[in-house]
Amino acid sequence: MGGQTAINLTKELVQRGVKILGTSLQGIEQTEDRHQFEELLKDAGIAQPKGATALNLAEAKAIAPVVGYPVMVRPSFVLGGRAMAVVENETELVTYVNKALKAAPNQPVLIDHYVAGLECEVDILSDGHDVLIPGIMEHLEGSGIHSGDSMALYPPVRLTSAQQKEIVQTAIAIGQRVHCLGMMNIQFIVADRVYVIEVNPRASRTVPFMSKVTGYHLAKLATRLILGETLADLGLPSGLASPSNHFAVKVPVFSFAKLAGLTCRLAPEMKSTGETIGIGESPAVALAKALANSYGLVTPVKGQIVLLDPVAATDTKLRAQLEQAGLRVEVWVSQQLPTLEYQRVWAVVNDDEAQTTTTPLNYYALSNGVPLLTAATSLSEIMSLSKVGVPVVN
């Protein structure tokens, strides 16, 4: 229940004779230790992206070409994806491996092949034998953006029934093999197949969301399981629970307006400071409710402007979606502040990796209260989930 800090303390506490409630130290190490984790997945026939660990820059340079660029660089034992990055070549590798080594001194750096695909996750409840999956969360933006910064939909609408079945079978296999007691979070990427990318043997930030939208009080139930009751004792089923009769969307909240100079392009390193939840009879309705209280996006008026930076402007799918919705697209190439009346602008989209909160386009949005999206894929997925773009007022 204590998050990653508590997990990091487990071994020393056990060595000092402290009784640990929940998943055992052995089970924790199966998910936290890179080599044990690889063996766990291999023995269970579960796929994971190809990767290895490096203790220094020279090792990282040797590993990256073998696993294949692009690669995900991840320091060990950090929170919120700190110093994580997707890198395309050796020049970028040098920069980000050095950052990773600085973020977690004397700890191995994980170098994994980056798999582009649909990202999803589950929080499981287990009594050490049986496993309950309250639901599957489907991330809208896909891989490459931290799960805490992604919009998430429950129940999923893009995953096939076969993919959902494999996710459930995989989650059960992992929970049983580590003898999970209480809660565990498992993250996946669905591409050419279903890959496991991360297992957290603890409560995750998604627990409050899943508790609200599924009706299962996960923290309370996990506590009772940790103290010795079984799923059967609690009258709970095993496997995937039946989905709710509504849809729910979790949308992140960012504090960019309060953090001058912050790098704000959505990436593997987490930047959000909160979240909102929208619940409705359809994905579009749930999304609209959540967006109004997070990004501040409301139903646009036909002819309103969407300002794109030159990088976002290359996204032909996004431009077509906006034009189909009756919105006017303008590309802002100047390094000066836009002079448009902010009331005419529905949203600003900046997809430049080097952007900060003081970049002129972002500063214009933040200082005028215009919704700012710092990844083009976010707005594109919003338009897609809203079916025919976003409902437009004539």
Residues 278, 369, single domain; the answer is yes
Q: What is the mean pLDDT of residues 254-282?
A: 93
What is the rounded CA–CA span in Å between residue 14 and residue 125? 23
Q: Which of 114, 148, 166 is the last residue of a domain?
A: 114
pLDDT tens-digit map of 148-190: 999 999 999 999 999 999 999 999 999 999 999 999 999 999 9
Q: What is the pLDDT of residue 335?
A: 83
- Within a domain: residue 43? no
The CATH number covering residue 88 comes to 3.30.1490.20
Same domain, 238 and 258: no
Asked, for residue 323, whether it belongs to a domain, the answer is yes
The CATH number of whichever domain residue 181 belongs to comes to 3.30.470.20
Whether residue 272 is found in the same domain as residue 366: yes
Task: Return the CA Rg of the chain.
Answer: 22
Q: Cβ(228)–Cβ(181) under 8 Å?
A: no
Residues 354-372 have a mean pLDDT of: 95
Q: How far apart are CA 179 and CA 13, in angstroms?
A: 20
Q: Is there a domain that residue 97 lies in?
A: yes
Domain boundary among 95, 114, 133: 114
Identify the domain containing residue 138 by its residue range.
118-244
Q: What mean pLDDT is predicted for residues 140-148? A: 91
The tens digit of pLDDT for each residue in 218-234 reads 999 999 999 999 999 99
Q: Tell me, what's the pLDDT at 80?
A: 66
Which tokens belong to 174?
A: 């992992």
Q: Is residue 107 part of a domain?
A: yes
pTM score, two decimals?
Answer: 0.91
- Are 279 and 362 contained in the same domain? yes
Q: Considering the domain boundaries, does residue 190 fall inside one?
A: yes
Q: Is residue 212 in some structural domain? A: yes
Domain boundary among 97, 114, 131: 114
Is the distance from CB of 250 to CB of 151 less than 8 angstroms?
yes
Residues 275 and 381 in one domain: yes
**Other Cβ atoms within 10 Å of 237 Cβ, number:** 12
- Same-domain pairing of 228 and 254: no
